[in-house]
Amino acid sequence: LFQPKTLEQRSLVQPNLNAWKTLASTFWVFCGGWLIFWPLCPMMDKSYKEYRLPFLAWYPYNTQTSPQYEFTYLHQFVSINCISLVNVNIDTLIAGLNMYIGAQFDILCDDIRHLHDGSKDSLAEARQKLKECVKHHREILKFAEYANNFYNWPVFLQIFVGGICIGFSLFQMTVVVPFSAEFYSFLTYSFAIIVQVFMYCWFGNEIEVKSSKLSYAAFESDWTNLSPEVKKILIIFTLNVQKPLKVSAFGLFYLSLETFMKILRTAWSYFTLLRQVNLRKQ
C-alpha cells in the first residue's frame, strides 16, 4: 500500500530521499568535526602535559599520573564517539520517519489526481481506487501516530534545550582563543545542533504542507465524470482531510519552520544575555 505504483510516483519520492540524505550527511560532517576538535583539544593545545582530560569528570583514582591518565583519556574518547554515533543515528532515523510520512502524502495525492483517466473501464475502477486512497490515508495517519509516540521524548528534550545549547556554544566561541581547537569545536557543535533541530522541523513542516494538498488533489482529479456515488465519497474524504497533519512533541512544540525560527531567536537571546553579563564582569 505504501509503495510507489508508477515511475512518476518514484520521481515524486526521490527528492524527499535526496533531501534526507543531504541533511543527514551534513549532520554527520559537523558531528565528525566536533569529535575531531573537542576530544583532541588537550593534544592540540598541548594541555595533555598538565594531564587535562577532554571532559571534566570525577574518578575514584588519581588521573594525574601515568598510565591512569592515558587509560582515562582513551575511555572518554571512545565513550563520546559511541554516544555520538547513537545520537546521530537516532536523529537521522527520526528525520527519516518524518520524510517517509511526507513522501506517502505525495503518493496519495498522485493517486487521488489519477482516480479517473477518462475511459469507461477507469470509471468503473474509480470507486475501488478511491476506497484504496481512503485506506491509504488511514494507514498514513496510523503510522504517523506510532512514529510520533516513538520520538516524543527525544524531540521534546532537543527542542527544549536546543536554544540553550546553541546560545551557550556561541558565547563560548567569544571567550576562548580565536581559531583554536576549542573555538572550532564550539563552532562545529553549534552547527551540528542547528542542523539537528532543522532536520526535525523541516520534515515535520513538509508533513503539514503535503497533507494540506490532499483536498486540492481531489479538485485536480477528473471528478466531474465520476458517478454520483463516487462523488459523495470524494466529498466526504475531502472534508475529512481539510485539517493538515501536524507532528509535535507531546503537543507542546509543533515541528515546523516557525518553531525552528523561534529556537534560533531563543538561542540569540541567551547569547546576548550571557555576553552582556560577561562584559559587565570585565
User: pLDDT 10s per residue in the chain (282 long)?
Assistant: 788 888 998 999 999 999 999 999 999 999 988 888 777 776 776 666 677 787 888 888 888 888 888 899 888 889 988 998 999 999 999 999 999 999 999 999 999 988 876 665 566 788 888 899 999 999 999 999 999 999 999 999 988 888 899 999 999 988 888 888 788 888 999 999 999 999 999 999 999 999 999 999 988 888 888 888 888 988 999 999 999 999 988 888 899 999 999 999 999 999 999 989 888 876
Residue type at 101 in one-letter notation: I
185 within some domain = yes
Residue type at 164 in one-letter notation: I
Q: How many domains does the chain have?
A: 1
2 within some domain = no
First to last CA, the chain: 64
Instruction: Dig out the grid coordinates for 170 from the structure.
Output: 556561541
Q: Which residue from 125, 119, 126, 120 is spatially nearest to 218, judged by alpha carbons? A: 126
Greatest CA span in the chain, whole angstroms? Answer: 86
d(CA 174, CA 169): 9
Q: Can you give the pLDDT at residue 54?
A: 78
Here the contacts of 147-155 (C-beta below 8 Å, separation 24 or greater) are: 147/97, 147/98, 147/101, 147/247, 148/247, 148/248, 150/94, 150/97, 151/94, 151/97, 151/249, 152/249, 152/250, 153/249, 154/90, 154/91, 154/94, 155/94, 155/200, 155/249, 155/253, 155/255
Q: Can you give the pLDDT at residue 45?
A: 66
d(CA 255, CA 208): 9
251 within some domain = yes
Q: How far is CA 16 from CA 117, 220, 221, 240, 259, in A?
A: 27, 22, 24, 25, 21
Instruction: Give the domain range for residue 42.
Output: 7-281
Query: For 86, what's the count of Cα atoms within 13 Å in the CB-facing half-sphere?
Result: 6
Q: Can you give the pLDDT at residue 182?
A: 81
Q: Can you give the pLDDT at residue 119?
A: 60
234 within some domain = yes
1 within some domain = no
